[in-house]
Amino acid sequence: MLDVASATATVFIDGEAGTTGLLIRERLGADRRVRLLSVPEASRKDAAARRDAMAEADLVVLCLPDDAAKESVALADALPGGGPRVLDASTAHRVAKGWVYGFPELSPAQGEAVRTARRVANPGCYPTGAIALIRPLVDAGIIPADHPVTVNAVSGYSGGGKSMIAAYEGGTAPAFELYGLGLGHKHLPELQAFSGLSRRPIFVPSVGNFRQGMLVSVPLHLDTLPGTPKAADLQAVLEARYAASRWVSVVPAEASGKLEAESLNGSNALELRVFANETHRQAVLVAKLDNLGKGASGAAVQNLELMLGLQPQA
C-alpha cells in the first residue's frame, strides 16, 4: 500500500483518447496523489513507447478494444517482476482465470480481493446494475440459481462508442431501439457468472436518445420463488447487503411508478429499487446508474483507489 503522505501513485492510461479513458483522466487530473503518465499522440500505437510508460507506472489502466487490451497485458507481463498492476476496462478479461472482477460490492470479501489483486477487470455497465440486483437474492436463496431470469435495460447512447455517438448527435439515429436480439450480447458471460446464476439469463438491452444514464430492470413473479416472498423481503435483503456501501444504496420506489434515467449522471452512485404489486404478486427490481460513471470511469477510479490504497474521493 502506498504511503500517500510521502508518495505519489504513477498511473498510465493505455487508450486515454477514448470516452472511458478521457473521463478517467478527467477524474484523476486534479488528484495530487496521482501522477498521470502519457505518450505522445503519434506514439499511442507504438508498443515500445507504451511499454516504457508501463515500466514506469505503479498501475496501468487499459481503455482499449479487447484484442488490443490482450496485447497490452502481454507487454506488461513481459516486464521485470511481472510488470505493473493492471486494471482492464475492456471485456477481454472479465471472466478470465487469474483476474479479479472489479465490482467491490459483489460480496463482503470482494473489496479486499480487488485491493490485493495484480490484475482487475472493470465490470460492464449493464452487468453492474443486474449483478447488484440479482446476486444478493441468489446468495439469500430467494432467487434459485437455475431460475429463468430476464434482464431488460436502457442506456444513453454514449455507451455505444464513437459511431453511435456520432449517429445520435448527428440526428441520424432512431429515438429508441432494442439491440442484442440475437441473445448473445458480450456482457452475458460476466452477468451470469457473477450474479450466481447457473441458467443463462435472457438479456435485452436498448438505447435511447439521451447521452448518458442507465436503467436495468429484472421482472419477477413472486409466487414462482421459494417461500413466495413479499417485496419487503427482497428489499430487506438488498438493504442488508449494501448497508455499509459508500456508492450503492437501496432507495424507496417512487409512488408514481415512474423512473427517469439521468439523475445520477456524473457520479459513481448506483441506486437500487423494488417496485411491486402485492395484489398481483409481481415485482420489478430496478438499478439506476450513470453508464459512464459506476458503469465505466467511476468504477475504474474506485478500483484504482482500492488497488493503490488511496482514500476514496467524493
Contacts of 309 (CB under 8 A, 6+ apart): 1, 2, 4, 115
Q: Is 167 exposed, middle or buried (0-12, 13-18, 19+ CB in 10 A)?
A: middle
Q: What is the mean pLDDT of the chain?
A: 94
pLDDT given for residue 1 in this prediction: 41
Question: Smallest Cα–Cα separation from 249: which of 214, 215, 283, 289?
Answer: 289
Confidence of residue 314 (pLDDT cuts 50, 70, 90): low
At residue 274, φ and ψ (nearest 5 deg) are: -120, 105
Can you say how many angstroms the Cα of residue 92 is from the centroid of all Cα atoms in its chain? 14
Residue 5 has pLDDT above 50, yes or no: no
Q: What is the pLDDT of residues 74-94, one digit of tens each?
A: 999 999 998 999 999 999 999
Query: Rounded distance, CA 304 to CA 31, Å?
Result: 12
What pLDDT is attached to residue 6?
39
Residue 240 backbone dihedrals phi, psi, to 5 degrees: -65, -40
Residue pLDDT, tens place only, 16-71: 988 999 999 999 987 888 999 999 988 888 999 999 999 999 999 999 999 999 99
101-118 in b/e form (b: 16+ CB < 10 A) is: bbbbbbeeebbebbbebe
* Reported confidence tier of residue 287, pLDDT bands at 50, 70, 90: very high
Please write the tens of the pLDDT for every residue from 215-232: 999 999 999 999 999 999
What are the tens digits of pLDDT across the range 101-137? 999 999 999 999 999 999 999 999 999 999 999 999 9
What element of type H or E holds 56? Answer: helix 47-56
Q: Which pLDDT does position 271 carry in this prediction?
A: 98
Question: Above 90 in pLDDT, residue 167?
Answer: yes
| Cα gap 147→170, rounded to integer Å | 42
pLDDT at 14: 96
| pLDDT recorded at residue 8 | 81
- Which pLDDT tens digit goes with each residue over 135-146? 999 999 999 999
For the entire predicted model, the pTM comes to: 0.94
Q: How far, in whole angstroms, is CA 227 from its chain's centroid?
A: 32
Per-residue pLDDT, 4: 40
What is the band of 11 on the pLDDT scale with cuts at 50, 70, 90? very high
Give the residue numbers marked as catalytic: 125
Contact 138, 196 (CB under 8 A): yes
Q: Given the DSSP bridges, would you call strands 202-208 and 176-178 parallel, antiparallel or unpaired?
A: antiparallel
Q: Who contacts 187 (Cβ-Cβ below 8 Å, separation ≥6)? A: 91, 124, 126, 127, 203, 205
With contact defined as beta carbons under 8 Å apart, do 59 and 102 qualify?
A: no
For 14-33, b/e burial (b = at least 16 CB within 10 A) is bbbebbbbbbbbebbeebeb
Q: Which of 43-47, 65-69, 148-152, 166-170 comes out lowest in average pLDDT?
A: 43-47
- HSE value, Cβ hemisphere, 13 Å, CA-based, for 197: 23
